Structure 1
Amino acid sequence: MPTPRTTWPLALLLSSGLALAQTTTSPAPATATPVSAPAAAPATPSQTTAPKPVTRVSAATSKTVSALSIGISKAVKGQLLSCPKSLKVSTQAVCLYAKSAASSVRPAVRGVVGAQALGDWKTSGQASSLLVQEGGNLAAYVLLSTLSPQETLIVIDAAQARTTTAKPASPAGVVKGQPYLLDKDLVGVVNVINLGAGKYRMNAPGQAALTITVGSKLAQRGAGTVDLPMTPLTDGTNLIFPVANLRALGCTVTDSANGITIACGSDSIGVKPIVF
């Protein structure tokens, strides 16, 4: 049966919310997700009739995405459809249409995810995203986009813990055997701003900004100073930040199968540190 075409205002999703979730996903071709026997979709959202709950999804999806999709579709009475080609989602992604406001979809989805949620909803413009873990590791995300006051597009896709793709040259002052992170590894939990001259401002949720200096254990917070356990370094391009210093930012670190999980306030990410 051919996949029905939709004419929903996808520009809302592309302009406001897609970047919110893409920082945790692995690169994937911009292809529509294969679906199994979708119900007929309406020509326009305003003509939508009550969709039937989805009871199965494509075999191409991951176990976590499949389980989430089935649970969420039942909770929100979602209708399965092909993910728009303009979305940069993986081939494992599942897209659902719900004739409900996003404000009512969010708690329903949160109830399905339960203890698997990594933090809480992050909202930007017309979109919201929620990270999902499996066995202590980042496994998937759920993205909601408001199509109209009473219509929501739900995207469920696989995600991967970000890993360092290239190990930088060992900088002067590095402590052998100790784990380090690049500044880009902290995106999602710590906002890092390069101030120039070897100085960086680091801000974690619920904490006052910390200004660090490469080569010095002494950092500044407001009018006071903070002694860091280890010295921040650089390879000339990247900030190389010791994992041990994360507690000075109010963050906690726990081991996971693929590296570590960093939690700062209600935000958390999975990452593999660098060990020189």
Structure 2
Amino acid sequence: MRLLARTPLAPLLLAPLLLSGAAFAQTAAPAPTPSPASAAPKGGPAGTGVSGATNPVVSSLAVTVGRAVGGGQLVTCPSKLSVSRQAVCIYSKQAAAQARTQIRTSLASRAAGEWKLSGQSGSLLVKNAAGQIGAYVLIAPLSAQESLLVVDAVNVAAAPRATAAPAGVVKGQPYLLGKDLVGVVNVVSLGAGKFRLNVPGETALTVTAGQKTAQRAGGNVDLPLAPVSDGKNLIFPLSGLRALGCTVTDAPKGVTITCGPDSVGVLPIVF
């Protein structure tokens, strides 16, 4: 793998998913190949081209990704890109479709599923040595034969938003607070542990804390798990969103909930 010293890419403009490929291609010409002595940035492990401050999982994955695409050039991640400080960005002289195939093949069983695509851009979740989701790869085309690859860690150790599990929750199952659903589901407290959930275009669903049976005009609906409440907030099981006609898909950090034409990214609570 030939990862070169990081090159600033401050002038780049972001596109809907990652950044504007045209702007990147016009403003970020590859830097000249440095001598072997300068191939590894100062402070990073010799021969890896990855900063020593980077998460070890990210470092290892970045090396694997770089090798999969036949080498690449480490670049400074654009400041407007929503990634962590430990993210690694790689410029590759390969078309996005070809790079995706080679990366997926190289990762083999480490990949958690397949690429999630939006046009030619996409994301791929990657498992760590323990078999848990530990990192992800993003890819965006810069031109017909150039791509930007982003490797970053998935923050699975986020601090819980509740200090204790409310009575009635099933440990190990993902839940959402009512406020997590803002933008896709309208949640209204009716008092006495009852809440009305409404998705535009769907019939409202009334749920009661501690009960798996919900009410909808015309009959009852059985939820996979009972919603609960801490006395004020609704704590709704992620699996129950199907009763509202919503879909849930994995995202690099958390999940994406889609209800009708609207979607929102959230990080569920697991008690």
Q: TM-score, normalised by structure 1?
A: 0.60
Cα distance in 1 between the residues matched to 2:18 and 2:217: 33
Q: Which amino acid aligns with 2:63?
A: I
Aligned residue number for residue 22 of structure 2: none
Cα distance in 2 between the residues matched to 1:79 and 1:2: 7
Q: Equivalent residue of 1:183, what SS?
A: strand
Cα distance in 1 between the residues matched to 2:101 and 2:132: 23
Q: CA deviation at 1:137?
A: 2.0
Q: CA deviation at 1:17?
A: 3.7
Residues 115 and 51 from structure 1, CA distance in 2 versus in 1: closer, same or farther, beyond 3 angstroms? farther
Aligned residue number for residue 35 of structure 1: none
Cα distance in 2 between the residues matched to 1:221 and 1:48: 59
The answer (yes or no) to whether the contact 2:227–2:236 under 8 Å persists in 1 is yes
1:118 aligns with 2:101: no
Aligned residue number for residue 80 of structure 2: 86
Q: Equivalent residue of 1:110, what SS?
A: helix
Aligned length: 224
The answer (yes or no) to whether the contact 1:219–1:228 under 8 Å persists in 2 is yes
1:58 aligns with 2:41: no
Q: Which amino acid aligns with 2:197?
A: Y
Aligned residue number for residue 261 of structure 2: none
Aligned residue number for residue 229 of structure 2: 234
Q: Which amino acid aligns with 1:159?
A: V
Cα distance in 2 between the residues matched to 1:247 and 1:176: 13
Residues 44 and 163 from structure 1, CA distance in 2 versus in 1: closer, same or farther, beyond 3 angstroms? closer
Residues 96 and 210 from structure 1, CA distance in 2 versus in 1: closer, same or farther, beyond 3 angstroms? farther
Q: Equivalent residue of 1:167, what SS?
A: coil
Cα distance in 2 between the residues matched to 1:231 and 1:156: 38
The answer (yes or no) to whether the contact 1:65–1:140 under 8 Å persists in 2 is yes
Residues 168 and 221 from structure 1, CA distance in 2 versus in 1: closer, same or farther, beyond 3 angstroms? farther
RMSD, matched Cα = 4.5
Cα distance in 1 between the residues matched to 2:27 and 2:124: 27
Aligned residue number for residue 218 of structure 1: 213
Aligned residue number for residue 146 of structure 1: 141
Cα distance in 2 between the residues matched to 1:199 and 1:241: 12
Identify which range, 157-166 or 95-104, moves more after superposition.
Answer: 157-166
Cα distance in 1 between the residues matched to 2:98 and 2:119: 17
1:95 aligns with 2:89: yes
Structure with the larger RCO, 1 or 2 (CA within 8 Å, 6+ apart):
1
Q: Equivalent residue of 2:141, what SS?
A: strand
Q: Which amino acid aligns with 2:250?
A: D
1:4 aligns with 2:1: no
Q: Which runs of 5+ in 2 are unaligned?
A: 20-24, 41-46, 190-194, 255-266
For residues 83-139 of structure 1, what are the alpha-carbon distances to aligned partners after superposition, in whole Å with 9 as ceiling and x for unaligned? Answer: 223334323211100122211111112122221222322233563111112113221
Aligned residue number for residue 183 of structure 1: 176
Aligned residue number for residue 196 of structure 2: 199
The answer (yes or no) to whether the contact 1:119–1:131 under 8 Å persists in 2 is yes
Which of 66, 70, 88 aligns to 1:73? It is: 66
Residues 218 and 132 from structure 1, CA distance in 2 versus in 1: closer, same or farther, beyond 3 angstroms? same
Residues 136 and 80 from structure 1, CA distance in 2 versus in 1: closer, same or farther, beyond 3 angstroms? same
Q: Whose radius of gyration is greater, 1 or 2?
A: 2
Q: CA deviation at 1:248?
A: 9.1
Identify which range, 81-90 or 49-58, moves more after superposition.
Answer: 49-58
Residues 141 and 224 from structure 1, CA distance in 2 versus in 1: closer, same or farther, beyond 3 angstroms? farther
For residues 182-238 of structure 1, what are the alpha-carbon distances to aligned partners after superposition, in whole Å with 9 as ceiling and x for unaligned? Answer: 4159x8xxx962353513369xxxxxx995623342247998754336421233664
Cα distance in 1 between the residues matched to 2:231 and 2:120: 39
Q: Equivalent residue of 2:100, what SS?
A: helix
